[in-house]
Amino acid sequence: MGKIVISGPQNVSLDGVVQDPDGKEGFSLGGWFIEFGGKDLEPWNKVALDEALRAEAWLLGRRSYEFFGVRWRPRTGELADRLNSIPKYVVSSTLEAPEWNNTTVLKGDVVAEVSKLKQELDGEIIVPASYRLGRTLMEHDLVDELRLVVFPVVLGGGERLFGEGSGQKAMRLVDMTTIGDGLAFLTYELVR
């Protein structure tokens, strides 16, 4: 049975904002990944590689799939090679012809499709950067673990990992480390 992990790692501000970390979406507060974590980029890349190497598959929403695909398809190197070869599952009702290799499009009921995927795969199914999908999976108790990289900034606005309607979820801290000099890497298991 697969284990669904929101990670990749999942970058988040101190106040829970996950929107536009690289500043390419046009969000007025975007770009905080480099501005507040740039000096820790090399150790962050090591964490991202470790996450990718131990993943069985990636599970993404369409927008995150397109974002990562454009960024990683033309690249080479250890992380790019892993991301280009890993099985990818995309939740989308509109994607017809995926361009990134090893991609399967999941159509229909998200909860049913992801539940089935979780039964079919062994190992970690990583959900990177797809906060809308992550919210849906959390609401339906399909997430097993959260791995958050917390950036030292309060943005005050923007899309948060958990929306107001997310409901109460008990979690247990199972690991915490630092990445470089300024980033906190927190791992939580959901308490069932």
Confidence of residue 8 (pLDDT cuts 50, 70, 90): confident
pLDDT, mean of residues 76-84: 96
pLDDT, mean of residues 42-62: 95
pLDDT, mean of residues 135-157: 95
- Global confidence as pTM: 0.93
Please, what is the average pLDDT of the chain? 93
Residue 36 neighbours by CB distance under 10 Å: 18
* CB-based contact 162:16 (threshold 8 Å): yes
Q: What is the full DSSP assignment across the chain? A: -EEEEEEEEEEEETT-B-S-TTS-S--TT--HHHHHHGGGHHHHHHHHHHHHHHEEEEEEEHHHHHHHHHHHTT--SHHHHHHHHS-EEEE-SS--S--SSSEEEE-S-HHHHHHHHHHH--EEEEEES-HHHHHHHHHTT---EEEEEEES---SSS-BSS-GGG----EEEEEEEEETTTEEEEEEEEP-
Confidence of residue 61 (pLDDT cuts 50, 70, 90): very high
Model pLDDT, residue 166: 66
Which of 17-26, 69-78, 99-108 has the least mean pLDDT? 17-26
Q: Where are the domains of the chain?
A: 2-190
Q: Does the pLDDT of residue 39 top 90, yes or no?
A: no
| Class of the CATH-defined domain 2-190 | alpha beta
Angle of helix 131-139 versus helix 110-120 axis, rounded to 10:
80
Confidence of residue 36 (pLDDT cuts 50, 70, 90): confident
Q: Does the pLDDT of residue 183 top 80, yes or no?
A: yes
15: tokens are 């106040």
Query: What does the pLDDT look like over 112-135, one tens digit per residue?
Result: 999 999 999 999 999 998 999 999
CA nearest neighbour of 103 among 89, 93, 117, 83: 89
93: tokens are 């009702």
